Amino acid sequence: MAGVDISGGGGKKRAVDAEINMIPFIDLLLVTISFLLLTAVWTHMARLNADAQVPGKPSDDPPVDSAKPKDLHIEMRGAEKFVLQWKQGQQVVNSVELPRKEVKIVQNNVEVIRFPDLATKITEEWKTNGQHAAPTDEKTDRAILHTDNKTEYKYIIGVIDALYGTQRERAFGGKTEKIPAFNVTFAVN
């Protein structure tokens, strides 16, 4: 067992012999160091991004950064409607609500859900607000799908099919082909 011996000096003084148990002290030290290391990682997460607009009064709308691309956000959390929003950064550029009308089709003994009204509206919105329509443009517009954890897989596939129904021409070499206009990603809940 580790310990520290504190012996008294010489002379007529009374000798002080005390044995300090070092194991709990080392354990306490290790826990303290690990706590410091763990909390040091999270200190940058507590910072706020501040935008000081001096001089003048603060504006109500955040400035739109034209360098940021517009993304189509599709909210399908409710059972009665879709909400289509074009966002540039955090600012909503355009918002449209659409009733949720599904069409059930049976293909190879499997029930498939389609949203034809949604597909039509997405195509209209892309023609109005889409940024990557030129055949020489290598990029595609991004669609972000917002759903809750209870949504069945067949409904998610129906929305993705509606998004991929919007197509544009893309030049590859000397010929052009039809490709989906959107790259679909999912939002984190």
What local confidence, expressed as pLDDT, does residue 139 receive? 85
How far apart are the C-alpha atoms of 113 and 146, rounded to whole Å? 18
pLDDT band at 31 (very low <50, low <70, confident <90, very high): very high
When pLDDT is averaged across residues 129-158 and rounded to a whole number, the result is 86
CA-only gyration radius of the chain, Å: 31
Classified as helix, coil or strand, 33 is: helix
DSSP 31: H
Which of these, 103, 100, 95, lies nearest to 79 by C-alpha position?
100
When pLDDT is averaged across residues 150-172 and rounded to a whole number, the result is 88
How far apart are the C-alpha atoms of 2 and 23, rounded to whole Å? 7
Mean pLDDT of the chain: 80
Q: Interhelix angle for 116-129 vs 153-164, to 10°? A: 40
When pLDDT is averaged across residues 141-169 and rounded to a whole number, the result is 88
For residues 83 and 95, is the Cβ–Cβ distance under 8 A?
yes
pLDDT band at 154 (very low <50, low <70, confident <90, very high): confident
- Residue 54 scores a pLDDT above 70: no
pLDDT tens digits for range 79-101: 788 888 888 888 888 888 988 88
Instruction: Please list, in sequence order, all residues whose beta carbon lies within 8 angstroms of the beta carbon of residue 94, skipping any fewer than 6 positions away.
Output: 85, 86, 125, 128, 129
Q: Strand pairing partners for 180?
A: 167
- Residue 147 scores a pLDDT above 80: yes
For residues 7 and 15, is the Cβ–Cβ distance under 8 A?
yes
- Residue 19 scores a pLDDT above 80: no
Residue 134 main-chain phi, psi, to 5 deg: -70, 140
Classified as helix, coil or strand, 71 is: strand
How far apart are the C-alpha atoms of 80 and 99, rounded to whole Å? 6
What local confidence, expressed as pLDDT, does residue 29 receive? 93
- Residue 64 scores a pLDDT above 60: no
CATH number for the domain running over 70-186: 3.30.420
Specify the long-range contacts of residues 67-71, CB closer than 8 Å, at least 24 apart. Answer: 69/131, 69/141, 69/142, 70/129, 70/131, 70/141, 71/141, 71/142, 71/143, 71/144
Domain boundaries, the chain: 3-45, 70-186
- Residue 112 scores a pLDDT above 80: yes
